[in-house]
């Protein structure tokens, strides 16, 4: 039986929460009382004052009211952005006059209406987007369409997207057989030398630095002190140097080679297994020939052969085919 506590902590309304306007931002200089109500700019008219308790419940109702389509538009725009890599409104934090116009305004409004009609069910919205023929398109390049719409603004294909650093690191550890799936536990200050998922990397909103930060931010992990609507996707020389020279990549390559050597004996078999594990496909005959020729080019000691396998594995682990979602 659970312990019988004599007291229980609960939340209750604190009554009227109207505050004075702080003149020029100085809390010591009070102006007129600002009554609790929704934003006049968003409401489009003089909003009614909140009179029930603290006004939190009335504020929540005003934010999600059908007469305020901004909330649903912002939500569906961000969800669309995470599925496609590009938002319908490419300024996701600015729907005002200085923001970008939607590429598909009718679609944005339809999705916003569907979200409200389905009781604000995010799961239903995800399903509607992911079951659409637009989402299920191939990413195959087509020259005619590219000449017309090179940025794929009008979604004639699924745009290839680079995985986030969290997904990419986890995919590497999973492919090499190192990833630990256990739940809970403490965070890791240096996630590059850990085996748990990247979600366990220590982070700080107060500015505290961790060894993990250098590794994660090299691939556009955001600074936690500020909110960010969409991560940038940069391509800088430091990323390529990391893939070629870092101890992290060399360790992953060694583990991957050990795994392949435990499960196969012939070079061609190991190459086929590597492609299945990393790219979920069979290698072409040309890719097999290139790999075999590279691995067997130097007939030296076993150390040399293993070293060549590590080099070959590092190339496969660093490839765009593994790093990009297509």
Rounded to the nearest 10 degrees, the angle between the axes of helix 247-263 and helix 267-279 is 120
pLDDT of residue 2: 66
Instruction: Look at residue 142 in the predicted model and tell me its pLDDT.
Output: 93
pLDDT of residue 147: 94
DSSP letters, 28-96, are TSEEEEE--B--HHHHSS-PPBP-STTSHHHHHHHHT-TT-THHHHHHHHHHHHHHHSS-SSS-TT--S
Within 13 Å, how many C-alpha atoms sit on residue 111's CB side?
A: 28
Q: Looking at 100-152, list the stretches that DSSP marks H as alpha helix, in order from N- to C-terminal side.
A: 105-117, 122-130, 143-148
pLDDT for the residue 55: 81
Residues 6+ apart with CB under 8 A from 161: 85, 233, 324, 325
10 Å CB burial of residue 80 (0-12, 13-18, 19+) is buried
Q: What are phi and psi of 48, to 5 degrees?
A: -70, 150
Mean pLDDT, consecutive 10-residue stretches, the chain (326 aa), reads: 73 74 91 85 78 82 88 96 93 89 95 95 97 94 93 92 92 91 84 88 81 86 83 88 91 93 88 94 94 79 67 94 89
**In this predicted structure, what is the pLDDT of residue 306?**
54
């Amino acid at each position: 039986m659970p312990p019988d506590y004599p007291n229980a902590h609960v939340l209750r309304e604190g009554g009227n929460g109207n505050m004075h306007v702080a003149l020029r931002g100085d809390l010591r200089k009070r102006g007129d009382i600002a009554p609790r109500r929704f934003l006049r700019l968003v409401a489009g008219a003089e909003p009614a004052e909140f009179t029930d308790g603290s006004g939190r419940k009335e504020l929540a109702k005003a934010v999600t009211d059908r007469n305020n389509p901004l909330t649903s538009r912002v939500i569906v725009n961000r969800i669309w952005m995470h599925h496609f890599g590009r938002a319908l409104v490419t300024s996701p934090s600015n729907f005002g006059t200085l923001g970008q116009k939607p590429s598909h305004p009718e679609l944005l409004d339809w999705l916003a209406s569907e979200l409200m009609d389905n009781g604000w069910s995010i799961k239903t919205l995800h399903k509607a987007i992911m079951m659409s023929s637009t989402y299920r398109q191939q990413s195959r390049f087509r020259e005619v369409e590219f000449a017309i719409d090179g940025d794929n603004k009008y979604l004639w294909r699924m745009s290839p997207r680079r995985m986030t650093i969290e997904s990419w690191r986890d995919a590497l550890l999973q492919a090499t057989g190192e990833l630990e799936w256990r739940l809970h536990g403490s965070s890791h200050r240096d996630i590059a030398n850990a085996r748990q998922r990247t979600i366990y990397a220590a982070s700080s909103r107060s500015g505290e630095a961790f060894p993990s930060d250098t590794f994660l931010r090299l691939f556009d992990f955001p600074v936690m002190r500020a909110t960010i609507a969409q991560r940038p996707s940069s391509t800088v020389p430091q990323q390529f140097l990391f893939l070629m020279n870092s101890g992290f990549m060399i360790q992953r390559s060694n583990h991957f080679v050990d795994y392949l050597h435990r499960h196969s004996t012939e070079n061609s078999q190991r190459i086929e297994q590597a492609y299945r594990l990393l790219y979920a496909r069979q290698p072409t005959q040309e890719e097999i020939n290139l790999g075999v020729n590279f691995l067997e080019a130097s007939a030296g000691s076993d150390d040399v052969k293993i070293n060549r396998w590590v080099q070959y594995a590092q190339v496969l682990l660093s490839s765009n085919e593994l790093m990009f979602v297509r």
